[in-house]
């Protein structure tokens, strides 16, 4: 009987060839996932690797084959083959021992035993009839499904990107006019969009495409980075211009909505000008704005892309587009190893945990309250109002100093993004961080001026700073403090810390923000990221591994023959407000716009018999949204909307002198464990005691370099960090051995100075017996140990500049009587530092 390898070569391969599968259509043992990252060093679980994948075109898989050795049952691998087939989104799964073949057909849901593999043409026929009820040409020049991918800079499409492209093109070929793609941030939505357009454009299925983003940065990223292979066929639509001689156009909503010649810029194009309109980050588009543009280009295929599953705050998106044709979640991206896992460090501030502050209470405790004359002072301010309407410098200082302390522990040069409430709030945070980290910044030798920066849209070099932040080769900036400029669409693979000082209510926005940290950057040695959370934003985390559930929107009751006549006035003096923008939301994706006349009046017809949400916007006034009951008459005022004038930003209340402190601090791992200081140390104790039974066992491990290395790696894999525990115990001077010994066996904590001095006292006679060169080397190494720990007692340390000043390496070796004596001396020093007869 043949083993599995022999079975493949001698039995399975010939059967495939006999059925018309040429070598260019067969891929063997190709890893389709990288495998989940399991530690900070980038070590991974095993990736998924099917035995065979059969292709109709290089990146169009059609079947999976699992091979079993000749002696096994031919169907033994069918479950595994089905699992791989579902991942790859292919309809045929096979298991074989080289003689009989078991087939599972996802189209018919039937399993059967066959003697030979179906040919590529047969599988294409079955697939084509299933998907399209007709036989599409088996020809790459006419069929976009089979047209080759455009590979740029060796960027090979991942399995889920191939599945997404296939599903989108299938929907297009089936005449679907609204197509939605849901893929987590960092998994390549724009790359998928490019490949879809490339295939459809080059097979003549579409000619003109409009790509819409909500930010110039995202628009330019798509134009310059992803769609660059289209060369001169692409163009950017800019303010006041409506070019019409290219094929692939890129624009922002704001530009398309701007006015030219008395109408919107998008109306400069004929309604049937575009064959496809792509809406990037479609969940973020303004209420009704992208809908107006899509309604105008109604004959085009509308292809929306979102990074978030269906939520309360993006219902419009899903109701308009329907169920996504493909979904790939953040959790799946982490499991597959394409996205980095995360850890959470959660901190509660006392005033936040209480829900807000009472001005009466803080005043009685000596706080100073400064309020502008024209600002109405309330008794209680909630957390959501902090830094928006009330400034709490003490809170900002406490939070930021705590952040600086955390960054010192984890590493102050780790790239970090801090999300603040306002641009002014960001300025305060930058200042405090700069001062708190001044000594650390100076020690790095980096440019201190650009170490901590504010990146907001009013900064003239905001885009340049964001690009440097994203560049793993650029040392600075290290810390970017922002409001929302870096919340969506900007790739920043090196970032290790995402910091929330800004309360978040939207799961959509929260997912976008943490997406900034989900990229893996091998160049920067970044294989995981932290969420440092001061405002309980991580309550919004939830599993979204499955495609969104079907959503059936509540439709308003007809008939649509009622009216809303309203008036908009100034809340202070009752004067009418003209040219106010009115948006009536009749139902999901049913929007009617209007404007007020010189008398401040507006009218909306075609309303249902049920309540309607009306949003009112006017220059220099606060936006207001009200619920209105339509009436059967259009000559009667149904609602009067009073708008308040916007207050100047400098009109914030400032409260100083509040007793602000860290109420509670949690370390939460990605699996969901929440550990405060005491529980974290107990967790460390339990895990260390599983590895070593006694203090002497720990000592034996510690003085053996290889055993110590493996032991520490095992601890780190379990998120046990001796340096972090030392900081929690306020003993940064302690030896890592003593920290672990104290946690696991209640041993007293000794500093490295204590151990070094004990060694010098005990071994003084031996040290004095060395010649002058050897003695200087030994004393130097002991000084190095005081600073850096036991790893400094090593042959590698002899090449450091300060020891090289004592003598050349050969002279040093000779001073110890040869290399063997030198190594024995180093081992003796290591043992001496931890001998049970010594201190501790």
User: Above 80 in pLDDT, residue 483?
Assistant: yes
Domain count, the chain: 6
Q: Six-digit token pair at 30?
A: 């190709």
Report yes or no on 584 lying in a domain.
Answer: yes
Task: Give dist(CA 721, CA 713) in Å, integer.
Answer: 10
Report yes or no on 409 lying in a domain.
Answer: yes
Q: For the segment 35-72, what is each residue's pLDDT rounded down to a tens digit? A: 888 877 788 888 999 999 999 999 999 999 999 999 99
Q: Provide the sign of the torsion angle of the four alpha carbons 832, 837, 838, 840, taken in this order.
A: positive
The answer to whether 498 and 529 have CB atoms below 8 angstroms apart is yes
Same domain, 75 and 17: yes
Q: 734 to each of 444, 545, 758, 830, how far by Cα in Å?
A: 23, 44, 14, 16
Q: 435 to each of 396, 449, 495, 532, how far by Cα in Å?
A: 14, 12, 22, 20
Please identify, among 704, 722, 749, the residue that sits at the C-terminal boundary of a domain: 749
Burial 261-288 (b: 16+ CB within 10 A, else e): eeeebbbbbeeebbbbbbbbbbbbbeeb
Q: For position 673, what pLDDT does the model report? A: 58
Report yes or no on 663 lying in a domain.
Answer: no
Report yes or no on 334 lying in a domain.
Answer: no
Report yes or no on 210 lying in a domain.
Answer: yes
User: Above 70 in pLDDT, residue 649?
Assistant: no
What are residue 564's DSSP bridge partners?
Answer: 604
Task: Give dist(CA 627, CA 612) in Å, integer.
Answer: 6
Same domain, 721 and 577: no
Q: For position 287, what pLDDT does the model report? A: 39
Please identify, among 687, 715, 749, the residue that sits at the C-terminal boundary of a domain: 749
Report yes or no on 665 lying in a domain.
Answer: no
Same domain, 599 and 624: yes
Query: Measuring CA to CA, which residue among 306, 308, 310, 313 is closest to residue 330?
Result: 308
Crossing angle of helices 736-745 and 677-691, rounded to 10°: 90
Query: Measuring CA to CA, which residue among 278, 322, 293 is closest to residue 176?
Result: 322
Where residue 597 sits, what CATH number does that domain have? Answer: 2.60.40.10
Q: For position 658, what pLDDT does the model report? A: 79
User: Above 50 in pLDDT, residue 838?
Assistant: no
Q: For position 78, what pLDDT does the model report? A: 96
Between vectors from CA 771 to CA 767 and to CA 774, what angle results, nearest 5°?
70
Where residue 190 falls among pLDDT bands split at 50, 70, 90? very high
Same domain, 443 and 500: yes
Question: Which of residues 474 and 90 earns the better pLDDT score?
Answer: 90
624-628 and 590-595 beta bridge pairing: unpaired
Q: For position 105, what pLDDT does the model report? A: 97
The per-type count for the chain, helices as H runs and strands as E runs, is 29, 35
User: Above 70 in pLDDT, residue 513?
Assistant: yes
Mean per-residue pLDDT for 722-747? 82
Q: For position 289, what pLDDT does the model report? A: 62
Q: For the segment 561-588, what is each residue's pLDDT rounded down to a tens digit? A: 889 999 999 999 999 999 888 888 776 5
Q: Six-digit token pair at 316?
A: 């419009």
Mean per-residue pLDDT for 627-656? 83
User: Above 80 in pLDDT, residue 670?
Assistant: no
User: How remote is the C-alpha of 274 from its chain's centroid?
Assistant: 33
Q: Phi first, then psi: give them for residue 667, nearest 5 degrees.
A: -110, 120
The answer to whether 66 and 94 have CB atoms below 8 angstroms apart is yes
Neighbours of 214 (CB within 10 A): 21
The answer to whether 647 and 621 have CB atoms below 8 angstroms apart is no
Q: 622 to each of 628, 645, 646, 649, how far by Cα in Å?
A: 19, 6, 5, 13
Task: Give dist(CA 518, CA 29) in Å, integer.
Answer: 28
Alpha helices for 250-321 (secondary structure H): 253-257, 289-296, 315-321
Q: Six-digit token pair at 280?
A: 């990037």
Same domain, 468 and 358: yes
Mean per-residue pLDDT for 760-786? 83
Same domain, 439 and 311: no
Q: For position 288, what pLDDT does the model report? A: 53
Q: For the segment 247-295, what is each residue's pLDDT rounded down to a tens digit? A: 999 999 889 988 878 888 999 999 999 999 999 877 655 435 678 889 9
Mean per-residue pLDDT for 99-106? 96
Same domain, 64 and 11: yes
Mean per-residue pLDDT for 447-471? 83
Side-chain half-sphere of 748: how many Cα atoms within 13 Å?
A: 7
Return the beta strands (E) in 332-471 as ranges: 342-349, 356-358, 368-370, 380-382, 390-391, 416-419, 452-454
Q: For the segment 333-348, what is each residue's pLDDT rounded down to a tens digit? A: 888 999 988 888 889 8
Residue with tokens 């259009």: 634
Where residue 218 sits, what CATH number does that domain have? Answer: 3.40.50.300
Please identify, among 749, 780, 800, the residue that sits at the C-terminal boundary of a domain: 749
Helix (H) or strand (E) holding 75: none
Same domain, 25 and 11: yes
Report yes or no on 839 lying in a domain.
Answer: no
**pTM score, two decimals?**
0.70
Neighbours of 791 (CB within 10 A): 15
Q: For position 837, what pLDDT does the model report? A: 42
Query: Measuring CA to CA, which residue among 331, 339, 722, 343 is closest to residue 532?
Result: 343
Mean per-residue pLDDT for 80-92? 96
624-628 and 529-533 beta bridge pairing: unpaired
What are residue 642's DSSP bridge partners?
Answer: 569
User: Above 90 in pLDDT, residue 782?
Assistant: no
Same domain, 428 and 505: yes
* Mean pLDDT of all residues belonging to the chain: 86
Q: For position 38, what pLDDT does the model report? A: 81
Same domain, 367 and 515: yes
Report yes or no on 725 lying in a domain.
Answer: yes
Burial 451-476 (b: 16+ CB within 10 A, else e): bbbbbbeebeebbebbebbbeeeebb
Same domain, 507 and 621: no
Between vectors from CA 695 to CA 690 and to CA 701, what angle results, nearest 5°?
75
Query: Measuring CA to CA, which residue among 140, 132, 135, 293 is closest to residue 203?
Result: 140
Domain extent, residue 595, equals: 562-631
Q: For position 840, what pLDDT does the model report? A: 34
Q: Is 491 exposed, middle or buried (0-12, 13-18, 19+ CB in 10 A)?
A: middle
Same domain, 351 and 425: yes
Crossing angle of helices 752-762 and 819-834, rounded to 10°: 120
User: Above 60 in pLDDT, residue 486?
Assistant: yes
């Amino acid at each position: 009987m043949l083993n599995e390898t022999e079975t493949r070569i001698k039995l399975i391969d010939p059967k495939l060839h006999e059925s018309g599968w040429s070598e260019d259509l067969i891929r063997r043992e190709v890893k389709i996932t990288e495998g989940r990252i399991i530690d900070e060093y980038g070590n991974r679980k095993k990736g998924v690797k099917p035995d065979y994948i059969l292709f109709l075109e290089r990146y169009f898989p059609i079947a999976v084959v699992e091979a079993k050795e000749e002696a096994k049952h031919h169907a033994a691998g069918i479950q595994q083959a089905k699992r791989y087939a579902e991942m790859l989104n292919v309809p045929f799964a096979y298991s074989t021992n080289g003689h009989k073949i078991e087939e599972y057909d996802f189209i018919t849901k039937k399993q059967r035993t066959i003697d030979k593999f179906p040919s590529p043409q047969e599988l294409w026929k079955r697939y084509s009839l299933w998907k399209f009820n007709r036989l599409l040409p088996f020809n790459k020049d006419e069929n976009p499904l089979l047209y080759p991918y455009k590979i740029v800079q060796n960027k090979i499409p991942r399995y889920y990107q191939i599945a997404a492209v296939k599903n989108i093109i299938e929907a297009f070929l089936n005449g679907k006019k609204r197509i939605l793609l849901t893929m987590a941030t960092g998994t390549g939505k724009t790359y998928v969009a490019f490949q879809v357009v490339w295939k459809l454009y080059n097979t003549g299925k579409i000619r003109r495409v409009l790509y819409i983003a909500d930010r110039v940065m995202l628009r330019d990223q798509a134009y310059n980075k992803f769609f660059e292979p289209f060369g001169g066929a692409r163009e950017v639509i800019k303010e006041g211009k409506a070019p019409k001689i290219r094929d692939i156009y890129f624009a922002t909503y704001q530009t398309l909505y701007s006015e030219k010649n008395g109408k919107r810029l998008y109306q400069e194009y004929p309604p049937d000008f575009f064959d496809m309109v792509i809406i990037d980050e479609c969940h973020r588009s303004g209420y009704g704005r992208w809908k107006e543009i899509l309604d105008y280009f109604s004959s085009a295929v509308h292809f929306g892309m979102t990074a978030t599953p269906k939520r309360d705050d993006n219902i419009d998106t899903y109701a308009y587009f329907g169920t996504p044709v493909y979904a790939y979640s953040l959790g799946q991206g982490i499991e597959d190893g394409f996205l980095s896992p995360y850890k959470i460090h959660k901190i509660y501030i006392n005033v936040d945990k209480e829900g807000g502050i009472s001005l009466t209470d803080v005043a009685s405790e000596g706080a100073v309250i400064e309020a502008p004359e024209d600002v109405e002072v309330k008794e209680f301010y909630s957390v959501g109002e902090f830094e928006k309407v009330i400034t709490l410098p003490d809170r900002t200082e406490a939070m930021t100093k705590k952040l600086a302390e955390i960054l010192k522990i984890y590493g102050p040069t780790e790239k970090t993004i801090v999300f603040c409430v306002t641009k002014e709030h960001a300025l305060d945070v930058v200042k405090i961080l700069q001062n708190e980290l001044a000594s650390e910044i100076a020690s790095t030798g980096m440019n201190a001026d650009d170490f901590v920066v504010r990146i907001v849209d009013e900064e003239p070099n905001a885009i340049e700073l964001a690009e440097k932040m994203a560049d793993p080769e650029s040392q600075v900036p290290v810390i970017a403090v922002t409001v929302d400029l870096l919340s969506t669409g900007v790739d920043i693979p090196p970032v290790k810390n995402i910091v929330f000082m800004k309360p978040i209510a939207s799961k959509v926005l929260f997912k976008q923000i943490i997406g900034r940290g989900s990229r893996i950057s091998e160049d920067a040695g970044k294989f995981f990221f932290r969420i440092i959370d001061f405002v309980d934003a991580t309550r919004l985390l939830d599993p979204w591994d499955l495609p969104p559930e079907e959503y059936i929107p509540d439709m308003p009751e007809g008939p649509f023959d009622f009216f809303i006549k309203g008036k908009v006035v100034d809340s202070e003096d009752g004067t009418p407000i003209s040219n106010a923008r009115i948006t009536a939301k009749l139902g999901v994706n049913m929007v009617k716009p209007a404007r007020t006349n010189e008398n401040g009046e507006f009218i909306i017809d075609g309303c249902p018999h049920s309540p309607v949400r009306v949003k009112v916007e006017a220059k220099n006034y606060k936006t207001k949204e009200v619920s209105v009951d339509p009436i059967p008459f259009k000559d009667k005022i149904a609602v009067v909307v009073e708008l308040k004038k916007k207050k100047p930003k400098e009109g914030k209340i400032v409260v100083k002198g509040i007793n602000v402190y860290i109420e509670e601090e949690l370390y939460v791992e990605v699996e969901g464990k929440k550990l405060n200081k005491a529980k974290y140390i107990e967790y460390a104790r339990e895990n260390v005691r599983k590895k070593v039974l006694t203090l002497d066992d720990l000592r034996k491990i510690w003085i053996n370099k290889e055993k110590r290395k493996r032991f520490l790696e095992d601890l780190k894999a379990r998120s046990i960090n001796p340096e972090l525990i030392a900081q929690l115990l306020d003993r940064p001077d302690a030896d890592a051995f003593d920290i672990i010994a104290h946690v696991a066996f209640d041993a007293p904590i000794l500093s490295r100075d204590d151990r070094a001095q004990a060694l010098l006292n005990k071994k003084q006679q031996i040290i004095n017996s060395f010649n002058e060169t050897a003695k200087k080397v030994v004393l130097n190494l002991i000084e190095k140990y005081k600073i850096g720990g036991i790893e400094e007692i090593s042959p590698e340390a002899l090449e450091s500049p300060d020891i090289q000043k004592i003598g050349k390496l050969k002279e040093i070796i000779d001073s110890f009587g040869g290399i063997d004596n030198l190594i024995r001396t180093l081992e003796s020093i290591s043992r001496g530092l931890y001998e049970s007869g010594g201190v501790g």
